[in-house]
Amino acid sequence: MPPARPSAPVRLTGFDLRVLHMPLVSPFTTSFGTEDMREVIIVRARTADGEGWGEVVTQSAPLYSSEYTEGAWDVLRRWMIPALLDAPSLAAEDVAGVLSPFVGHRMAKAGLETAVLDAALRVEGRSFAQYLGAVRDRVPSGVSVGIQRDPAALVDAVGGYLDEGYARIKIKIKPGRDIDDTAAVREAFEQIALQVDANSAYTLADAELLAELDRFQLLLIEQPLQEDDLVDHATLAGRLRTPVCLDESIVSAKAAADAIALRAASIINIKAGRVGGYLEALAIHDLCRAADIPVWCGGMLETGIGRAANAALAALPGFTLPGDISASSRFYARDIVTEPAVLEDGHVRVPVGAGLGVEIDPVALDDFTVAYEEVLR
């Protein structure tokens, strides 16, 4: 269901955009590469009554999806922000419609919608969690562990996160680093909730190999094939006992409905950035819940801004599996909010303050900023 009570319209006066470079506490390796720094765009919406914040979760290169920082920056400043500023007054619920003529660029759209929604909810004194319909005040915290030097190093890394209390472990896999890595973790930790993420690194020709994962009692395998391989995912799902979960393929509520109809996925990872915002994420939650498809909240190494919003989303009733909502310290020694998310008994708290419920640390924000631009009415 859409939010029971829509947000009040805001009078936008402009936006400012920043590119941040935030060092990671350790390199993060997936099937598509290694990062030791998070490049991210932070959006601030300025309104007659206050400000709101959002995050554009692109990376510097188009490797996870077709979106990337400079492309998002360009489409934001030249097309999307001017379109929003054309309206004398705008509700967050109308942002997606105003931006709908622009094809794709969902991460950019999500950053804008979040900033407008945050601004509106701060004025109202209503939290994201209340607005979205959250039913929990804390959410179980899963951690995503990158590919390590070898399986022994992976077991060490996983052990460290388990000691911290993480409720679920996800390991990244790729061809040549799949069965042995998973076997090593499962042998070392027989009882843990474990899942794997391939980030599109396989093809249907690998079905037999992927079926070897069936013996490890995984919660799921995430995005084994390409983004547009819905039919192949359905075929693969028929050959595996491990549930297939889609991430990259789920770019909208329509894509989620199609994937479910095709039986391409029995579990869905919801990332607001990938689908164009928290309202589309809510729509996906609702349709999955109606179809009895479990969902969980994915992560894009968010700063404290996106992490707060994700915790609120993950507190909805259909989120029945732990999300990639780790403590800020999983990725960052220093965050851009004054009270970064911490792990408490394997959980992260859902913020209760108005809007996103986090305050920006202006000094940290400045320190990480490598590009800045204002687009005013």
Instruction: Quickly list DSSP for 46-105.
Output: EETTEEEEEEE---SSTTSSS--HHHHHHHIIIIIHHHHHTSSSB-HHHHHHHHTTS-S-
Catalytic residue among 109, 170, 174, 271: 271
**Choices 35-43, 44-52, 148-156, 245-253 (CB under 5 A): range interacting with Mg ion:** 245-253
Q: Tell which residue, 255, 202, 197, has the closest CA to residue 222.
A: 197
Which token pair is 172?
């990244």
DSSP secondary structure of 105-135: -HHHHHHHHHHHHHHHHHHHT-BHHHHHT--
Based on CB atoms, which residue is closest to ligand SMG, 45 or 300? 300
Beta carbon of residue 174, minimum distance to ligand SMG (angstroms, whole number): 12
> Looking at 51, 247, 280, 335, which residue binds Mg ion (CB under 5 A)?
247
Q: Which is nearer to Mg ion, 172 or 349 (CB)?
A: 172
Provide the 10 A C-beta neighbour count for residue 23: 12
State the catalytic residue, choosing from 109, 170, 172, 174: 172
Distance CA 206, CA 212 (A): 10
Residue 8's contacts (CB-CB under 8 Å, 6 or more residues apart) are 91, 120, 123, 124
- Our answer to whether residue 271 is catalytic in this structure is yes
Indicate which single residue of 67, 227, 247, 335 sits in contact with ligand SMG (rule: CB under 6 A).
247
Q: Residue 84 or 272: which CB sits closer to ligand SMG? A: 272
Which window, 153-161, 173-181, 299-307, 360-368, contacts ligand SMG (CB under 6 A)?
299-307
**Backbone region of residue 215 per phi and psi (left: phi > 0; alpha: psi in -120 to 50; beta: other values):** alpha
**In the block, which residue shows the tokens 């997606």?**
96
Which segment (4-12, 109-117, 120-128, 294-302) binds ligand SMG by CB under 6 A? 294-302
300 binds ligand SMG (CB under 6 A): yes
172 carries an active-site annotation? yes
Binding flags for Mg ion, 174-213, as an x/- string (CB under 5 A): -----------------------x----------------
Instruction: Supply 309's token pair.
Output: 């919003």
Instruction: Say which residues have a Cβ less than 8 Å from residue 215's Cβ, sequence separation at least 6.
Output: none
Closest to 153 (Cα-Cα) out of 191, 184, 123:
184
* Contact status, residue 198 vs residue 222, Cβ threshold 8 Å: yes
Site size for ligand SMG (CB under 6 A): 14
Residues 142-181 that bind ligand SMG (CB under 6 A): 144
Specify the stretch interacting with Mg ion by CB under 5 A; choose among 17-25, 162-170, 218-226, 254-262: 218-226
227 belongs to the binding site for Mg ion (CB under 5 A): no
Nearer to Mg ion, 38 or 122 (CB): 38
304 touches 358 (CB < 8 A): yes
Contact assessment for residue 208 and residue 232, using Cβ atoms and an 8 Å cutoff:
no
Which residues between 190 and 229 bind ligand SMG (CB under 6 A)?
197, 199
**In the complex, residue closest to Mg ion by CB:** 247
Q: 256, exposed or middle or buried, with CB in 10 Å at 0-12, 13-18, 19+?
A: buried
326 binds ligand SMG (CB under 6 A): yes
The pattern of x and - marking residues 40 through 79 that bind ligand SMG according to CB under 6 A reads -------------------x----x---------------
Cα 216 from Cα 15, distance rounded (Å):
48
| Closest residue to ligand SMG, based on beta-carbon distance | 299
Partner touching 31 among Mg ion, ligand SMG, none, CB below 5 to 8 Å by kind: none
Binding site for Mg ion (CB under 5 A): 197, 222, 247
Active site residues: 172, 271
Report the interface residues with ligand SMG, using CB under 6 A. 30, 59, 64, 144, 197, 199, 247, 298-302, 324, 326
